[in-house]
Amino acid sequence: MSQSDMKIAITNGRVIDPKHGVDAPRDLFIANGQIVALLPAGQTPDGFAADRTLNAAGQLVLPGVVDLAARLPGLEPELEAAVAGGVTRLACPPDTDPPMDEPELVERLVRRAQDAGLARVHPVGALTQGLAGEKLAEMAGLAAEGCVAFSQAKRAVRESQSLLRALQYAATFDFPVWYYPQNLSLARGGVAHDGEVAARLGLPGIPVVAETVAIAQITELCRATGVRIHLTRLSSAAGVALVRAARAQGLPLSADVAVHHLHLTDDDIGFFNNLTRVDPPFRTAADRAALREALADGTLAAVCSDHTPLAEDERQVPFGEATPGVSAVELLLPLTLAWAREAGVPLTTAVARLSCDPAALLGVAGGDLGVGAPADVVLFDPEATWTVGTDTLVSRGTNTPFLGRAITGRVATTLVGGKVVFSR
């Protein structure tokens, strides 16, 4: 019997399923890779005989985490890191090498991910060929192979007319476009938030207006074309205000935030700590507070890892020369729940921003524990304490500003399609 054919009972846990309004002690039953029942403790579906029972006493039983941005150099090791962090579905940005602009590349990535049998991978296709910002990519062919959206990642379409045509084409087929809101001209040469810290350290800054100008432009293009726009990785209070206003006007516009932006500010750069070199940059405490509030009230629909594992030689250089990015897929769940704990946000809201809400943005099944849903499940010990270190991370990238920090809460077990793919 293969693992995915096994009947599994998860007993004695606190089940949180925001999509169905569940936050209660429940036993969860799985067969043929799907959830078949969710019952009060002690009850069993008629005729169900478990091949394996997982005792979740003292643990949270959650839908698998859906991550909207994780880069996967060395596919299988990073998928192992994903499931170690409770991530069962992830979207892969198109800024791969080569860029994800041909159907054959998408088909190969999806097949390799399926063969690995770990987290499910949903590619985001390139909006333009080679991400060069000139000729449109073959969106229909990319979508047919499994692309869930189209994006330039962090590269610009320099000609506004080219961007307008790309959005018009995407709108024609109702393809969502994911847009990184940063005006590259205003951000050019910058490596940190344009504020007191950058000035004191002599670092070139990236002003907030680089984000707000880009949001203002894409909002008007969204209004003109009707295309669904998802803004990736907001960083500022002013940016949040623009998103809130656009949504209030009924525009089909959503946005997300990277989990590290919920916790860190430009003060964490310290004395040129290049582990804090990220795009967009960490901004002020007021910006961080606005992001945290917007995630709580739903203005920001999801929190993601923006996982970018880097090699040692990419960061053992001066701050301004370091490659931006943070290894974060294993910290996404515990750091999001830490935000909820600190901010007094209900656990159901925090779990929603990690599961059913991003699944809805992807347009895929999952992100919930309803009967008939794929059995993508995480058992999470909320009291476990551990220290982030090179020996406690599975990812090959240990480039995280949380190195050495004590974390409360850790994934104990992850199931994908009813198969146990990680257990601590």
Distance (Å, whole) CA 238 – CA 296: 17
Task: Work out the angle at residue 167's Cα, subtended by the Cα atoms of residues 165 and 171, and round it to the nearest 5 degrees.
Answer: 120
Q: Which DSSP state fits 368?
A: S
For 363, how many CA atoms within 13 A lie in the half-sphere containing its CB? 13
Distance (Å, whole) CA 34 – CA 54: 16
| 338-367 b/e (C-beta count within 10 Å ≥ 16 → b) | bbbeeeebebebbbbbbbbbbbbbbebebb
State which amino acid sits at residue 403: L
Number of Cβ atoms within 10 Å of the Cβ of 171: 20
User: Tokens for 203?
Assistant: 């670092």
Which among 220, 243, 242 is positioned nearest to 230, based on CA atoms? Answer: 243
Specify burial of residue 218 (Cβ count, 10 A radius: 0-12, 13-18, 19+). Answer: buried
Distance from the Cα of residue 19 to its chain's centroid: 18
* Selected catalytic residue, list 17, 95, 194, 306: 306
Distance (Å, whole) CA 40 – CA 12: 9
Task: Work out the angle at residue 331's Cα, subtended by the Cα atoms of residues 328 and 337, and round it to the nearest 5 degrees.
Answer: 135
Length of the chain: 424
Residue with tokens 């950058």: 198
Residues 6+ apart with CB under 8 A from 313: none
194 classed as catalytic: no
| 46 phi and psi angles, rounded to 5 deg | -55, 130
Active site residues: 306
